[in-house]
Amino acid sequence: MPKLDRPPLPLTVEHDTPMPMRDGTVLRGDVYRPASGGPFPTLLVRSPYGEGSLRGTPKIPALEAGFAVVLQHCRGRGSSDGEFRPWLDEGPDGYDTIAWITAQPWSNGEVVAAGMSYLAGCALQAAATRPPGLKAVFASMTPHDFHDGLKYHGGAFSLGSALNWGSLQAMLGLMHGAAAGEDVAAGFGTVLPLIADPAGAARTLPLRDIPGIPWWEEWISHPTRDAYWEGLAETLRHDRIEVPVMHVAGWFDLFLAGTLENRRRLGGPLIIGPWSHGPGASGTGAVNFGFAASAQAAQLEGRQLAFLRGADTGPAVRIFVMGDDVWRDEEEWPLARAVETRYYLRAGGLLSPEPPGPAEDPATFVFDPRDPVPTVGGPLLLADPTNVGPQDQREVERRPDVLCFTTPVLAADVEVTGPLRVTLRAATSAVSTDWTAKLVDVRPGGRAMSVIDGIVPNRTEPGRAAEFVIDLVATSQVFKAGHRIRVEISSSNFPRFDRNPGTGRTSADSTEDEMVVQHQTVFPGSFVTLPIVPR
């Protein structure tokens, strides 16, 4: 019988250790370190979600790798004092926390920072302040900007994720206040209905009337990138980040564009798996990609620790190629060998690399924002955790306000890997509208599985044709022989995005009665640009 010769690793654990910030606010966290030896480099993780969110941090592997580990609550969250202000304090608080760590007798003066989503943002914002002692950052699934790709996507308000995350943070704030002895009963009475009925909350009009979320008014009052968002952008200055950064993304993560942009600006290793918001699972949405797709099979944790130790020897880019369902190492992103290929949206619902003829008629549909196209799958962070990733679109495609353009059955595999976009020549009868696009893998038997989607709002002269570019971000999808490639076009994806009333005003200030029916025309010459990799 095999026997493992593993001596115990005695640990010293300090719970709720106080760490004073420069303004006198005391933040608290847990400190784990070997009971003997040292001094040690330190892994820092900062979270605004309370103690439960920190349980998944790989403490034991990090301790075994020779790190001390500090898990700290952001101000106004968990056991830390102060008021939580999204994104505003994470840079200076991260700097002060790193200074505190490096001053401890058990520290060797070196700190690395890691996290996912907001936690990764904390690490990058701290890095932008250039704290002495910070050596590396591991950033998973986090935006590059607080306007573009976080609260707005292509200019449309990311209603579903803003409502879900805002409600959660409002609830955490109330719980923090209750722990401090404050009377928060009225606040609970306001926020609990948002959490109990998110679908009903999303249909609130004007959107400005949604109560209980402290920052809601700020988010919806600044639909364009103005001084408000520019001020927040100053807290994440990529040009000030000097330490190496490793990036992890998911093909179905709502921050895929942000992670890719972080990597473009900062460099460093890049891993993209077939995951939604949270790396690890072998299945996403309605598709099981097999055990090989899991973070465990990809040995993501081991590579993370190797990178933070300065010992990473992995490839520059590792992507999971869906359809083939395999990991593939690359030297670059995007792939230089990918060939941008236009597939045209043709009359009769045909999608073809051949351009349309001069006599082809445009496609039309009628969109009523009172009955928006429902969100079914995609890169989401909604209250329903099952409505995410690739999902069957057949029910959506039966709607008269969804246009479908489909290739004939493919005779050979077609690999689409890289950034992609839809260029739409279109017109609307309204003062304003949204244009949405979705790439779909149609399987034998008819299952129409979503791959990626996007949106672009516009305001043009009614009836005037114009060109609109819908960013679909990126994917790596092999459309197998026997499958078909499909592009869906419509004017809503709700509640992922808010509804466009068609009046030139936003849903923040519109009522249901003010919304107008929009008559839409999509002209021949519209196309999707697919980065096709020769096989």
**Catalytically annotated residues:** 117, 253, 277
The residue behind tokens 């689409």 is: 416
CB 461 within 8 A of CB 497: no
Q: Retrieve residue 321's tokens.
A: 């190629």
Instruction: Give helix 185-196 / helix 159-179 axis angle, nearest 10°.
Output: 150
CB 422 within 8 A of CB 351: no
Rg (CA), the chain: 24
Q: Retrieve residue 363's tokens.
A: 């496609």
406: closest CA among 397, 417, 418? 397
CA 217 to chain centre: 22
Tell how strand 134-140 and strand 245-250 pair up.
parallel
For residue 123, the SS3 value is helix
CA–CA separation, 127 and 241 (whole Å)? 6
390: closest CA among 499, 486, 492, 532? 486
Largest pairwise CA distance in the chain: 81
Q: Retrieve residue 188's tokens.
A: 């609970």
272: closest CA among 53, 44, 126, 452? 452
Q: Retrieve residue 349's tokens.
A: 């619902």
159: closest CA among 475, 511, 506? 506
433: closest CA among 458, 456, 454, 455? 458
For residue 171, the SS3 value is helix
Helices (H) and strands (E) in the chain, counts: 11, 25
**Using CB atoms within 10 A of its CB, is residue 485 exposed (0-12), middle (13-18) or buried (19+)?**
buried
CA–CA separation, 535 and 533 (whole Å)? 6
- The helix (run of H) or strand (run of E) holding residue 288 is strand 287-288
CA–CA separation, 395 and 221 (whole Å)? 34
Distances (CA, A) of 188 to 170, 177, 476: 9, 11, 43
Which residues are CB-neighbours of 238 under 8 A, at least 6 positions away? 128, 144, 262, 265, 266
